[in-house]
Structure 1
């Protein structure tokens, strides 16, 4: 049951990420997210990186509460959020934005589609008229660009 909770939470985090990215990060917390689009912040960190703390806090609380209750469902909800956050960091910060110079020449159609959709998202410098707010699942047109059917 614990693994099922973890998997469901991980999957649900994709929808939560889309909603938070579109309506919070591109909404009332745009002042924190803007430098991620316009690169106005100097140095290796952006104000946008504060979202790590914002999103990690509930996961830490859930993990702690779950441990206090003999590793009940709260722990596995927190673990699912944490694992999703780790995936987000590796794919978004390391793979897509190349904060570490690895995986720059991948040929995987799936990873190339994710990178392309994110590039489309970043072509909009303002908070309006954005697109592709997802993370691991993006509009099908980007997958179709790299998964060409053999005829």
Structure 2
């Protein structure tokens, strides 16, 4: 006979993993993809006609990790199986929210006009409002800060980058 705890623990593991994955995805997007992993992620910030981009390799890495957890969880430590379920659910959310809704990598187009989906859409479009990897805002995929906050943050980032660029140019200029 199964008890409530037999359902509660897996449910909490899955929900907790999905929440953690949004935090981890935002963190890795900002610090890895816009950092030392830019060589792959750059393809996502440039126009292209291909169906796939180098950036998709990050999804492959997460999928391989989840498959590994499924395997370990089914053979040795059952909680890892449920964590793999959470990672997989997050991957599905990412696919629909980011690849589908925001970047229109579906065979049909849908631009949300109101509510939560509009906010996620606008937030990620603001992420792509700068050229290159510096000065971006909104690194999450499922959660998005209010758009007015992101616009202010984007303006602040552009000012900081502009003053940094000006200082670098001043340092390179020959002394008179």
**Kindly tell me: are residues 111 and 43 of structure 1, through their superposed partners in 2, closer, same or farther at Cα, counting changes over 3 Å?**
same
Q: Distance in 2 between the 1:113 and 1:54 partners? A: 28
Which residue among 16, 22, 27 is the counterpart of 2:35? 27
What are the superposed Cα offsets for residues 98-144 of structure 1, whole Å, 9 maximum, x if unpaired? Answer: 1114461433410000000000001122111111001111112359x
Question: Are 1:59 and 2:66 counterparts?
Answer: yes
Larger Rg: 2
- 2:106 is aligned to 100
Question: Are 1:45 and 2:52 counterparts?
Answer: yes
**Comparing 17-26 and 92-101, the one that deviates more:** 92-101
Q: Distance in 2 between the 1:6 and 1:66 partners? A: 13
TM-score of the pair, normalised by structure 1: 0.86
Q: Give the structure, 1 or 2, with the largest relative contact order (CA under 8 Å, sep 6 or more).
A: 1
- 1:18 is aligned to 26
- Number of aligned residue pairs: give it: 142
TM-score of the pair, normalised by structure 2: 0.75
Q: Distance in 1 between the 2:55 and 2:109 partners? A: 23
Structure 2 gaps of 5+ residues are 1-8, 150-176
Q: Distance in 1 between the 2:54 and 2:123 partners? A: 23
Structure 1 gaps of 5+ residues are 144-151
Alignment check: 8 A CA contact 1:6 1:76 kept: yes
